Structure 1
Amino acid sequence: MVVSDLLTPKTDRRAGPVVLVEATWRARRDEHVRRMRRWTEPHLRRRADGQKHPVLDFLFTYYSHRPARLERWHPGPGVVLAGESAREYLGWSGYREVAAGVELDPDAFTPNRRRTAEFVLALLTATAARPPRLGCFGLHEWAMVYRSSQEEVRHAGWPLRLGSSGTDRVVESLPIRCSHFDAFRFFTPPARPRNTLQPTRQDQLRLEQPGCLHANMDLYKWAYKLDPFVPSELVADCFELAVGVRELDMRASPYDLTALGYSPVRIETVEGRAEYARQQADFAERAAPLRARLVEVCRALLAYAR
């Protein structure tokens, strides 16, 4: 059996769990830790030194999954970890001991977790059913600083490429088409009426669409919200997608981040907008199978823990 066969929980509990021998699950666990420490260790060093990073901090501050939790490997439901060292998982919430080893406890899939899985399933299914819309050009970041003083700018330590007045002119010259509430809610008050939509939290299922950078970053959020019931390989895949999306998000922003090695996507130009749309389409394509995997995980969880 290959690793990919184990990434979706089994919906038929009568078939019995998959039992992983200790060498197999420890190798998967170690690979996951190595993979995530590429991101967690630099973040922890920056935090210890009091250094802020306008691009990567977002993945650990806006998203609330702590680095230690991101590094922790979980197999997902329907999998038993064999061997004496598997008993260390009994010190973590959500596991139980069985004859063959240690597994996730279906009773730990509480009513609150069930409601979360039901919401995530509904949201991601609705999102996947829509065509991607690629005409926003990342203007949400510009709308977050529109007509702001330097003290009000979120990343005040970094200059605006076009200055305040140039930034405002870009916002005033292009239509803003943001459909994502968790981006729109950070718009400055003067920018909000300029958006073609006025999304609310209640509109989320109706408006979310697969071309949206923030909707694709949020796949990481929906994966870790169901921790430890989502296989960690899928959480890691969603996290790494979020890293790439966040980089495009900030490269297309009004900030000058060249000192950090981020070349700008100049969406104030025709060529820059075309480049943004191409990369946005690429991320939509990359996000689609992850969204589909999360949909299947949610369906399987709802059946597994009935």
Structure 2
Amino acid sequence: MQLQLTRLDVLGPEHWQAREEAHQRRASRFTEPYLQRRSAGRKHPVEDFLFTYYTQKPGQLLRWHPGAGVVLTGEAAAERAAWKYYRPLTDAERAEQDINDGGAVTFDAERFLRERAETVSFTRTILAATAARPARFACFGLHEWAMVYKSRLNGVRHEYLELRLGAEGTDGVVEASRINCSHFDAFRFYTPQAAPLNTLRLSRENQRDMEQPGCLHANMDLYKWAYKLTPALPGELVMDCFELSWRIREMDMQASPYDLAAWGYEPIRIETAEGRAQYAAAQRGFADESQRLRGRLLAALETIEG
């Protein structure tokens, strides 16, 4: 199915190249420090995550796309005809859009929907289902604690980090708590002793039925769903999802059992009533932001599908 060209916005080079440069400046704030650390063989327990856990590479994040419904014109635009899921306009389309000379390319919706149909369908399903559920705010970040439960038997997941309360203190927090994680991709990293303690039975098969908009990891994954739809989405939307995920990761690790004082992070002490209240308040704010982004992603899917 091909988009109707009458719905497309035509951008000249002075417009779209300015957006491209702004996107690259925005993304390089995150990519450059990561690449420098990687070159030096250094790790960062918070800031590396979006580049090591997720599959999009820094170079891919730096590449700006206008998204569906846009024509790019000019000599530089012509180069994009060789990029995946781009196509040049036909002579008839150029005439319809009143483009007389120079390059003119647009997102190839027909090919994208043909080759990425499963990804589009799953993304739409999980975004819509998650958006429709009530948010829950009683997990208190205990998924990170369950990943290091009984560390004396299993080892610490991040071997270069110390546990803030030590192994025994960490185990005590887990054992005194009710673990309510609803996100399979966090649950799958639990230690064998922690998995039975989760109140929900999670699997890849029931993932789309369990995710809810209060979950930090489900909200971080908005970045994943966004880049899986690249280049159908505008780069600005992908970066909005990335930056939200970045801030959620910071808060998630502040509430973790790790001692991150050396990296400048104050702990959210979820082992206390005050810390749990602090966590839940931040979680509510992220849930509100994430619901707005889900709406934008779902609207973008409608544009992709015409």
TM norm structure 2: 0.93
Aligned 8 A contact 1:141 1:253 in 2: yes
Asked whether 1:44 is paired with 2:35, we answer yes
Please say which of residues 242-251 and 200-209 is displaced more in the overlay: 200-209
Are 1:161 and 2:161 matched, yes or no?
Answer: no
Q: 1:142 aligns with which of 140, 145, 148?
A: 145
Structure 1 residue aligned with 2:58: 67
Report the AA paired with residue 40 of structure 2: D
1:114-125 equivalent positions in 2, closer than 5 A? 114-125=117-128
Deviation track 1:215-241 (CA, whole Å, cap 9, x = no partner) reads 000000000011111111100000000
CA contact (8 A) 2:67 2:235 kept: yes
Summarize the alignment of residues 286-301 of structure 1 with structure 2, pairs less than 5 Å apart.
286-301=289-304
User: Which structure 2 segments of 5+ residues have no match?
Assistant: none
The Cα offsets for residues 22-51 of structure 1, whole Å up to 9 and x where unpaired, read as: 110001000000000000000000000000
Output the CA distance in 1 between the equivalents of 2:220 and 2:43. Answer: 20
1:230 alignment partner in structure 2: 233
How many residues get paired?
293
Which residue does 2:70 correspond to in 1? 79
State how 1:27-38 maps to structure 2 within 5 Å.
27-38=18-29
Q: SS in structure 1 opposite 2:233?
A: coil
Q: Hey, what does 1:132 align to over in structure 2?
A: 135
Asked if the contact 2:69/2:303 (under 8 Å) is kept, the reply is: no
Indicate the percent of aligned positions where both proteins have the same amino acid: 56
After TM superposition, give the deviation of residue 142 of structure 1 in Å.
0.2
Report the AA paired with residue 47 of structure 2.
L
Instruction: List structure 1 segments (4+ residues) > 4 angstroms apart after TM superposition.
Output: none
Once the two structures are TM-superposed, the CA of residue 270 in structure 1 deviates from its matched residue by: 0.3
The 5 Å alignment of 1:1-306 reads: 13=4, 15-98=6-89, 99=94, 100=99, 101-149=104-152, 152-303=155-306
Q: How far apart, in 1, do the equivalents of 2:10 and 2:253 lie?
A: 43
Distance in 2 between residues matched to 1:121 and 1:151, nearest whole Å = 37
Secondary structure, aligned partner of 1:80:
strand
Does structure 1 retain, via aligned residues, the 8 Å contact 2:113–2:120? Answer: no
Conservation of the 8 A alpha-carbon contact between 1:184 and 1:192:
yes
Aligned partner of 2:112: which letter? F
- Structure 1: stretches of 5+ with no match in the other structure: 1-10
* Structure 1 contact 251–263 (Cα < 8 Å) conserved: yes
State the one-letter code of the partner of 2:279. Answer: Y
Give the conservation status (yes or no) of the 8 Å contact 1:121–1:299. Answer: no
1:23 partner letter: E
Give the counterpart letter for 1:64 in structure 2: T
Is the CA contact (8 Å cut-off) linking 2:182 and 2:211 kept in structure 1? yes
TM-score, with length taken from structure 1: 0.93
Structure 1 range deviating more: 87-96 or 254-263: 87-96
CA deviation vs aligned residue, 1:144-172 (integer Å, no higher than 9, x gap) = 00002387212111110000000000000
Tell me, yes or no, if the aligned pair for 1:95 and 1:104 is still in contact at 8 Å: yes
